Structure 1
């Protein structure tokens, strides 16, 4: 027999948790596996404060511009929006391109050459 009760069990017995929002529905757990572990809490705080990371803001802006283009009837405005959209997509693409410079003195240089040569043979 359990001799002590937790505050949660006590509140449940008193019915203090009967009218909580979401009661009876499954928890909505979010997948944050794509975010480094040390940044997850910061991302969650920013999201709860309605702040988006720059990449997501750009993505939303690109989507918004695309929708505007579909509905735009004025040719000059359409050209202006297309230029803006082209600029934003180029900017987003260049941000994600990574250039790797490996010098011959680098410890990975021989392994990289070996790997490239094996790919050439296949």
Structure 2
């Protein structure tokens, strides 16, 4: 018989998360026993890091990954990828005029990202 939910929402939420973790662990153990995991192409190797992952703020990484996997990447994700690309271009550039233009673009993009993220924080979306 399952215990009644706790009146404390945080305790109830944590209980549900633990139960979900247990179910996932059981499925993984069954897949390991059956050999299904070992047949995966990437078994035993680290997963390739998605482009822009390191540049994405920590609190956005998991929600953005979930949305991307669902086929609904948030617009902010493209901003982070663009920022990463500009940084690579800046590192590779040897021309002073080009570097100045890239720094200006990067600065403007970083201001836009900061404003978008601050708006998301202020609105409670994160």
Determine if the TM-score, normalized by the shorter chain, exceeds 0.5: no
Q: Which has the higher contact order (CA 8 A, sep 6+)?
A: 2
**Which one has the bigger helix percentage?**
2
Larger Rg: 1
